[in-house]
Every structure is written in structure tokens, then in C-alpha cells.
Copies of this chain bind each other. A is one copy, B any other.
């Protein structure tokens, strides 16, 4: 899987890693049970520190996206992606609220916003 980092971005590297791996899972490019590179390998390939990769993996593990076997390595959660927990839904609302508010303040029509969401959804989904 190809990962591209923007080292100039104000989004932390480990966050970019988490986001792109989640994107990979959403799109199906990362299949359940599929192994991910070791922290050292990925860090080496990306030219970053192993701890930065480890932090991303820990967050992904914490949210149930991956499994980490002590000496086997890292694999995408084989069965059952994380659920729509109440905490997640609350977080989702909190993330969306300021974004939607800004679109309204800029006079963006609701249809236009919905269209954008649907376009991104199609881009990111399987198929």
C-alpha cells in the first residue's frame, strides 16, 4: 500500500498514517487479515522514526482497526471492524459540527454540501 506523507502539513505524521490506513481499509485496498509492514520497515521506507509508526499502530489497535501479535506482526482486523459505538457517533458529530457550520457561514447550499459528501463517499468506498 502506497502511503504519502506531507512533512510540511500541520497534521502530525502519526495522524496522517492513521488516516491513510483507515482510508485503505474503507476502500478495501487493505483486506481483513492482511499484514502491515513492521514498525521498523515502514519507518525505514517512509524515512521517519519507528516510534512515530508505533504511535499510529497503537492508535489503530486501540480503535480496533488492527491486531498486533507480539512477535508475528501487525494485521488488519481479520473479522468485524469496529462498531458504530455511541462514543464514535458522538465524536463524529463533534468533528462534523464545525465543518458544517463553516460551510453555512460561507453560504454554501445544503445540496452542494450533500453532493460533496456523496462524491467523497463514492471515491472512498469499495468499488
Binding site for B on A (CB under 8 A): 19, 22-23, 25-27, 65, 81-84, 88, 92-93, 95-108, 110, 113-114, 116-118, 120-121, 124-125
Contacts and interface: CB of A to CB of B under 8 A. Distances in A.
**Which of A27, A104, A107 has the largest number of chain B CB atoms within 10 A?**
A104
Q: Which 9 A-B pairs have CB atoms at the shortest separation, nearest pair first?
A: A26-B104, A19-B98, A26-B105, A23-B101, A26-B101, A25-B105, A101-B124, A100-B120, A22-B105
**Which of A99, A114, A125 has the largest number of chain B CB atoms within 10 A?**
A99
Number of copies: 2
A61 to B, nearest CB: 14
Given A23-B98, A81-B105, A81-B107, A93 B116 contact: yes
B120 A93 contact: yes
A22 B102 contact: yes
A22 to B, nearest CB: 5
A121 B116 contact: no
29 contacts: A19-B97, A19-B98, A22-B101, A22-B102, A23-B98, A23-B101, A25-B105, A26-B101, A26-B104, A27-B101, A27-B104, A81-B107, A82-B105, A82-B106, A83-B106, A83-B107, A84-B107, A84-B108, A88-B106, A92-B99, A92-B103, A96-B117, A100-B121, A101-B124, A104-B125, A110-B118, A110-B125, A113-B121, A114-B117
